[in-house]
Amino acid sequence: MTVRLKPVGEQIVVLTGASSGIGLATARALATRGAKLVLVSRNEVALQEIARDCEVKGGRAIAVAADVGRFEDMERVADRAVQEYGGFDTWINNAGVAIFGTVEQIPIEDHRRLFETNYFGVLHGCLVAAGHLRQHGGKIINMGSVLSDRADILQGPYSASKHAVKGLTDALRMELEEDRAPIQVTLIKPSAIDTPYMEHARSYLDSPGTKNPPPSYDPELVARAIVFACEHDRRDIIVGFGGWALSMMGTLAPRLTDYAMEAGGRILQETSDPGCMERRDNLYKSRSDGTERSSLPGGSRKTSLFLEAQLHPASFLPGAALAAAAGFGFAALQLLRPRAASPRRRSTGSH
């Protein structure tokens, strides 16, 4: 069934995890385009301030404090959207938490709590959104990760949850399509992004802080991908070539990738800089929010040609075709160029 998506400026969008990082960058980007927003997170104080900021930027916004791990909270979010705006057109499942440590170090209850947010939070949002969107059509956008394809050392629970989100998203997409429901489903897979993710994480490592393995990308790039997905049909969008390269390496040479991650995983993810301590450990309750980026040094990449090639492939085809033609031409010249006769080897009489 053909699904017609409205322009962002005419959409009502539910956005979870809106109080920091990718969610906050996305809220601001959507507001700038004039969208009506239902902003969701556990931090009501931060949400109220962000809602006011979105209004200033040209959108409309309401703040709904809720825990995505509770199905009844997501039903309440949908009810608020209906009461305030008459419904919604796009539901973005972005909320997530993280834990650093080995699989054996991390207590079972922490594994379970992470899955309550990262997997069941997405499931709850998908179920509530699908039930509503079946009536008039729309979009579900789930936040995966490049770790949906390749697990990372010291982030086992997070990697496992993102694998689960990918499986859920793919299954839901097929089932909605089989049922001819007017709903599109997109999975966004960011690479390492410069957000408070590392500072918000619970950590069992010996180091004072945790950090992103390079290269790190700016959260506004992910927001750009999400806003694009609100209006366009894309199965998956990967943000950042670095993460995609890691995923491909893991697919083509899994054991080599294992060895590389074992050798460099701790060096690339541990740091002596604890960052902003007020943000540390939001696994069970919200902490300091309201910022898009981390307080850690290093910065991030502000552009990604790899992302642009996915969003606007036609714009990149001429250049790619020209490069391919030049490559083939060079190869042909090399093959056709006369070659000097190579001297014959003298037979030694032995083999």
Mean pLDDT of all residues in 226-241: 98
328: pLDDT strictly greater than 70 = no
Q: Tokens 């959507």 label which residue?
A: 30
pLDDT at 3: 84
Parallel/antiparallel/unpaired status of strands 209-210 and 183-190: unpaired
Mean pLDDT of all residues in 143-147: 97
Q: Tokens 């997409």 label which residue?
A: 173
Q: Please state which of the ranges 86-100, 155-169, 315-329, 335-349 shows the lowest mean pLDDT.
A: 335-349
Domain regions of the chain by residue span: 8-330
Amino acid occupying residue 348: T
178: pLDDT strictly greater than 50 = yes
Which own/partner pairs from 315-323 qualify as long-range (CB within 8 Å, at least 24 positions apart)?
Answer: none
pLDDT > 70 fraction of the chain, expressed in percent and rounded? 90
Cis check for the bond before 274: say yes or no (omega within 30 of 0). no
pLDDT, tens digit, for every residue of 181-200?
999 999 999 999 999 999 99
Mean pLDDT of all residues in 271-292: 96
What are the DSSP calls for 74-86, one per residue? HHHHHHHHHHHHS
CA–CA separation, 59 and 33 (whole Å): 7
CA–CA separation, 286 and 293 (whole Å): 17
Question: CATH: 3.30.565.10, 3.20.20.450, 3.40.50.720, 3.40.50.410. Which one for 8-330?
Answer: 3.40.50.720
What are the DSSP calls for 140-167, one per residue? EEEE--GGGTS--TTBHHHHHHHHHHHH
pLDDT at 1: 66
CB-CB contact of 184 with 209 (8 Å): no
**Residue 340's pLDDT band (boundaries 50, 70, 90)?**
very low
**Residue 283's pLDDT band (boundaries 50, 70, 90)?**
very high
Active site (catalytic) residues: 158
pLDDT > 90 fraction of the chain, expressed in percent and rounded? 87
114: pLDDT strictly greater than 90 = yes
Nearest to 130 by CA among 85, 177, 98: 177
pLDDT, tens digit, for every residue of 238-268?
999 999 998 999 999 999 999 999 999 999 9
**Residue 84's pLDDT band (boundaries 50, 70, 90)?**
very high
Both tokens of 170, joined, read 């793919």
pLDDT at 118: 98
pLDDT, tens digit, for every residue of 6-62?
999 999 999 999 999 999 999 999 999 999 999 999 999 999 999 999 999 999 999
CB-CB contact of 224 with 306 (8 Å): no
324: pLDDT strictly greater than 70 = no
